[in-house]
Structure 1
Amino acid sequence: MIRPTQASGGAPVDYRAVMRDGHWLAHRYDPGADAIRFLRLSREDHARATFITDEYLPVGRPALALHRSEVMASAAEPARLHLVLHSAFCCSTLVARALDVPGVATTLKEPVLLNDIVGCRRQGMDPERLAPLLRDALIVLARPLQPGEAVVVKPSNVVNGLAPAMMAMRTDIHALILHAPLRVFLASVARKGMWGRLWVRELFAGLHAEGLVQMGFEPGDYIKQTDLQIAAVGWLAQQALFVRMAARFGDQRIRTLDSEHLLRQPAAAMSAIATLFGLKIDVAAVVAGPAFTTSSKTGDTFGADDRAREQREGLSLHKDEVDKVAIWAEAVAAAAGIPLALPAPLIAG
């Protein structure tokens, strides 16, 4: 089916060809025009980008703005799709990089299309419109760079509130849920300074708006809490969501892993992740590869020892604040019935 597109000045576009080519990333959603914006990216573009957000993507790549109804009318059978969900600062980007293996899987690191749908939800889009939009997004994202590959999506944790709906819509989806232990998470936030503290407040605001913060506090209590207390509340809210998801979908579809087990047992963890997602990967090569040995942000050499040193320094510098907030958060968790360790662990130990 040939249709014009505004993005190319009226030139004809073969919708079917676009939908069969995963190099055309479904990048953004325009609710006013009910259009999906596609951006053409190579596997190398994906690999170089920390996340596939405009901040990290190269400028000047070909783009198409296509009406959603026309896009979906031309959609092919979606590829196998799996999720790497996370509560931030827990090596989820490392896992996404490790799973991007040509011929096996394409990974999408924080696609903004899903963030845009979260924005539609928070702005009050009718659920009867939102559900088909999310279903369509899962279809257009499940287009690998190479035929036969699975697609592994690592959403931003802003998207976590939509994760149960995604799992319900596609019963073939399996999900790995990653989290950092509470003290490790708090130290990571503190180490990032003002920007880390602002980020956790933004995260909290989103979780609260979606009704995911159920800790027994009065609304006015939160303004009295410190940045790290707000960070802990956000961590606990996500933890509670993950517990509910594990109970709802079962350990055949959802498994959980914390960052410390991943880093202590990388081969066992990657082997178990590959089994969960049905991927045939060379685990030894993956563990020895750039995902585990370089920084996802700079590309510099950065391995498990460097991560451990960074954690120690962060904990040492902010130990008093982290310890006090952790003790407080553990009491909040106990009162709210939220476990600090998630069920359905991926690996033992």
Structure 2
Amino acid sequence: MTKSPQITADPAWFPDAHDANAHALRLTRVSRKTLADQAFLDERWDRSGAEQVSRPVSDFAALALPKRPPRFIWHTAFCCSTLLARCLDKPGTNLSLREPAALMSLANMKRTQGEATLQRELGPVLSLMARPFVRREHVTIKPTNTVNNLIGDVAALLPDARHLLLYSDIRAFLLSIAKKGEAGRAFARQLFTIFAMDGHAIARTDPRDLFKLSDLQIAALVWHMQIAGFLDAARAGGPEHYASLDGDRFLQTPEAGLVAVDQFLGLGLGGEHARATVEGPILGQDSKDPTQSHSAKRRADEAIQTAAAIGPALDAIIEWSYGLFPASPHAGAMPHPLLAN
């Protein structure tokens, strides 16, 4: 049986699942390439045939925090976070981990069991997750957006870490929800119920009033709730630790965007990597399924078509939502932007 000290010494043992009730980790033995190739390191990752072990999180309580803290890409969903993380992956320089399931479990554990329980388990999980496969390689973690409630906890635990706040403006967010049809609208309501557990004032609205809102109105509230969290983080941490990037702005100038992100996160990928990435196939692929094609133009065309189908209600919902969240920035006004608008 593989012992915990052996696991600690071998970065191939990846903490791929967390049991919040048993306070245990499942670790899967994988290669760097396997981790880098997964669109999402959650239940969609096929682990068939991989060696696995389960251990109490407490077995790793003494594991030191990484001397080189991981970098983080926090996002609001539908803003090219998966694509950006793929673009930043380079063997020997930076490993991008996309949406690890263990972090989602920790985020939900904070909501249900409280911050004290989280504090005992966040450090060991991040320490295991941030181990590089080769010396001096960075690790960049892109959690799913329901993990955004951990931004402050991660910053307190890793004060030297750098955080990219990736987002879209509210109009783009609503169009992304709408173009996905019923699945997108259901997802928006699911997000609202999750974020409501994080203490947002809007969540204290009478449920009878919430039921009167349309799906897109709920989606608008979800966007503002996420942006409020980003604003709190950016104001608390300052520009040396936090930077913002509009996903559509990145798509318009991807090479400049990659260079700016690389420099802010301190990854050392270099301008040639950015150039080669932009000239390569990755921007023409669906980031979630590389076998499918995609492009910035297609994204823009779909947005135009979806906006036309919604009609004047789209602008009315946006205006209504800013009446509830007057402190939310409008397009291009997030703090510490990496690219000028």
Q: After TM superposition, is the score higher than 0.5?
A: yes
Tell me, yes or no, if structure 1 residue 318 matches structure 2 residue 310: yes
Q: What does 1:1-349 correspond to in 2, within 5 Å?
A: 11=1, 13-73=2-62, 77=66, 79-123=68-112, 125-214=113-202, 217-281=205-269, 282-299=273-290, 300-334=292-326, 337-340=327-330, 341-349=333-341
- How many angstroms apart in 2 are the aligned matches of 1:220 and 1:164? 32
Contact 1:79–1:144 (CA<8 Å) still a contact in 2? no
Q: 3-state DSSP class of the match of 1:347?
A: coil
Q: Secondary structure at the match of 1:224?
A: coil
1:136–1:71 CA distance, 2 compared to 1 (3 A): closer
Aligned residue identity for 2:87: A
Instruction: Give the residue type in structure 2 aligned to 1:296.
Output: S
Question: Is the 1:78–1:142 contact (alpha carbons within 8 Å) kept by the matching residues of 2?
Answer: no
Contact 1:87 1:235 in 2 (8 A): yes
**Structure 1 ranges of 4+ moved more than 3 A:** 72-79, 213-220
Tell me what 1:8 maps to: none
- Residue type of the alignment partner of 1:243: L
Between the aligned partners of 1:63 and 1:217, the Cα distance in structure 2 is: 45
Q: Is the 8 A contact 1:256 1:344 kept in 2?
A: yes
TM-score by length of 1: 0.89
CA contact (8 A) 1:104 1:279 kept: yes
Gaps of 5+ in 1: 1-10
**Identical counterparts, % of pairs:** 32
Report the CA distance between 1:69 and its aligned residue.
2.4
2:183 alignment partner, SS class: helix
Which secondary structure state, in structure 1, belongs to the residue aligned with residue 79 of structure 2?
A: coil
| Equivalent residue letter for 1:82 | R
Separation in 2, partners of 1:289, 1:42? 24
CA distance in 2, matches of 1:79, 1:290: 31
> Cα–Cα, structure 1 residues 291 and 79, in superposed 2: closer, same or farther, change >3 Å?
farther
User: Partners in 2 of 1:279 and 1:342 — Cα distance?
Assistant: 23
The CA distance in 2 between the partners of 1:17 and 1:216, in whole Å, is 48
Please say if residues 293 and 301 of structure 1, whose CA atoms lie closer than 8 Å, have aligned partners that are also in contact.
Answer: yes
SS at match of 2:286: coil
Q: Please, what is the CA RMSD of the aligned residues?
A: 2.0
Deviation readout 1:166-211 (Å, 9 max, x if unpaired): 1111011101001111111101101111111111111111111111
Name which of structure 1's ranges 244-253 and 43-52 shifts more when overlaid on structure 2. 43-52
**How many angstroms does 1:213 deviate by?**
4.3
Change (3 A) 1:23 1:303: farther
SS at match of 2:46: coil
What CA deviation, in whole Å up to 9, does each residue of 1:294-326 have, x standing for no partner? 112221232222222232232233334323212
Count of residues in Structure 1 that have an aligned counterpart in Structure 2: 335
Structure 2: which 5+ runs fail to align?
none
Shift of 1:215: 7.8
